[in-house]
Chains A and B, each alone.
Chain A
């Protein structure tokens, strides 16, 4: 791999530098290798040269008089991303040279007093480091691509599996339900375990699809305002019979007021449901499961503790990995897929939370997780009548959203430009600037044209005028007097369907 010649490209601003570098390089030549030097005094000439020649290394002189040294470096580094760059600088601009190194330059040299040995060593190491870097990047890209391929494969295969599973399930069910004729007790038992295992397979497929969607970040969260207490109660209802049959006592320690999150309700249900069903599975009769929910400023903390078999300390770090099951339940009955907690971890992290476990073998396990409460959508209500503003706030329920109010158009526009607003509820008839004008101004501004607007109006909305200010003509309208159910569902739907950007800082 050693080449006979190393082609050095020097980009400098005065000719003397070329001469001195040339003379230094010529000394190296006697010792080890041939160096070929080409020099340019501006970037664009250098670019065209790089495009058509094989360059081994670039020396970029930072004693250039202009102020855009870092910009020049970035442009050069982007253009010649596979060629190592070494910065040449004067003692007084070393600082910028170091910044360039942080941004991807291989090294820097202070021009005064460069000896040939130093220059030669720097060049060799720079080339070698760059090659290693490029190999790493390529290997990493390949890995990413393979991982993507694996996930796509997984997802396709899983979908293809659903139909044959459905056919097997229906066939067995028809026999079990005696629709296809009478069966003996032994046949019934055999078919029952067949059905249970078909369901286990179905569960595995559905968990695999979840995992591959989480890993490929294809899962879109459908966020809405929800109450975690309500979800825990619903989960209890779902498992009530199972808990009762297992002789387990289920204790709920929940705050007596709703605990609001702006999150994906289905996924939160899946997180807690998965943890609870695990706890049931590993807790024997007369055992106890305790669900505790607490809230802090911006987060909620929830824990599910059981008095079950527990997990050995050495296994705890593996708990959230895929296909890890400890204390597998033997014999017939429900078996897990080994993916439940991996899904839990993925979903918790997608909601800005963390999940961890405390466990003692033989004593029980506590799984604890946090979730971010928000960010809650910020709604701007623009209406000149204070009573209407209050009605809207009351209908939408104060603790579900954050509200801003404006009584006229100019004020509204100012708020939307300065603050982060997720949705605007806009009255058409306003003092001064009309609602149509407000829409026009917001739609013209790239900073504000994506914010969803809901028009509230007591009068017939002039669709002609509306289509003039909004070419897409997709602004929904709600009639006054406002119908509470309609308002709630429209706002919820708009916040869910729009790719609402919720700024973390609010």
Chain B
């Protein structure tokens, strides 16, 4: 994979997505945004990313729907994933996360510094 250390944020709350982008850019990453499932899926397919930050509840099915499509492409199936969600993390979410090798599920609101640390552990900047 390329040396860009590129992160894709797929999140339908645009203001929030922009803030996360700002945070991650200041930590030294290159960040792309998508605000719905379809657009996010397309970006993953077309570009190379080192990490995906996904929301669960979005128009078009959300993070898991995106992962289902992405996992059809063997070369894309191994990108590390972090889920950011406002929905209670129940067993169903945990089970699905396991299927798609999700590295972490983070409940909103979260502690930003811990979030950046987690990302650094997955993709050193």
Using a CB–CB distance below 8 Å, which chain A residues touch chain B? Answer: 159-160, 162-163, 165-171, 173-174, 177, 179-180, 198-199, 202, 209, 220
Chain B residue nearest to A155 (CB atoms) is B88
Q: Is the CB of B112 within 8 A of A173?
A: yes
Given the interface contacts A163-B13, A163-B16, A174-B22, does A209 sit within 8 Å of B112 by beta carbon?
no
* Distance of A212 Cα from B6 Cα, bound (Å): 40
User: Given the complex, which residues of A lie within 8 Å of B23, measured CB to CB?
Assistant: 170, 173-174, 179
Q: Is chain A's interface secondary structure helix, strand, loop, or mixed overall?
A: helix
The A/B interface has a contact count, at CB < 8 Å, of: 51
B99: interface (CB < 8 Å) = no
Shortest CB distance A83–B (Å):
45
Q: Is chain B's interface secondary structure helix, strand, loop, or mixed overall?
A: helix
Q: Is the CB of B19 within 8 A of A162?
A: no
Shortest CB distance A203–B (Å):
10
User: Given the complex, which residues of A lie within 8 Å of B86, measured CB to CB?
Assistant: 159-160, 162-163, 166
* Distance of A415 Cα from B85 Cα, bound (Å): 47
Shortest CB distance B25–A (Å):
9
B108: interface (CB < 8 Å) = yes
Given the interface contacts A162-B86, A170-B16, A209-B88, does A198 sit within 8 Å of B22 by beta carbon?
no
B87: interface (CB < 8 Å) = yes
* Distance of A180 Cα from B113 Cα, bound (Å): 15
Q: Is the CB of B22 within 8 A of A162?
A: no
Q: Is the CB of A179 within 8 A of B26?
A: yes
Q: Is the CB of A166 within 8 A of B108?
A: yes
Q: Is the CB of B19 within 8 A of A171?
A: yes
Chain B residue nearest to A180 (CB atoms) is B22
Residue-wise, chain B 58-89 has the 8 Å CB interface mask toward A (1 for contact) of: 00000000000000000000000000001110
* Distance of A145 Cα from B20 Cα, bound (Å): 41
User: Given the complex, which residues of A lie within 8 Å of B112, measured CB to CB?
Assistant: 169-170, 173-174, 177
Q: Is the CB of A162 within 8 A of B107?
A: yes
Q: Is the CB of A167 within 8 A of B15?
A: yes
- Tell me which residues from 66 to 125 in chain B have a Cβ below 8 Å from any Cβ of chain A: 86-88, 91, 107-110, 112-113
Shortest CB distance B113–A (Å):
8
User: Given the complex, which residues of B lie within 8 Å of A159, measured CB to CB?
Assistant: 86-88
- Greatest chain A CB density within 10 A among B91, B108, B109 is at B109
* Contact sample, A vs B, 11 pairs, CB 8 Å cutoff: A159-B86, A162-B107, A163-B86, A165-B108, A166-B110, A167-B19, A169-B110, A173-B23, A174-B22, A179-B26, A220-B91
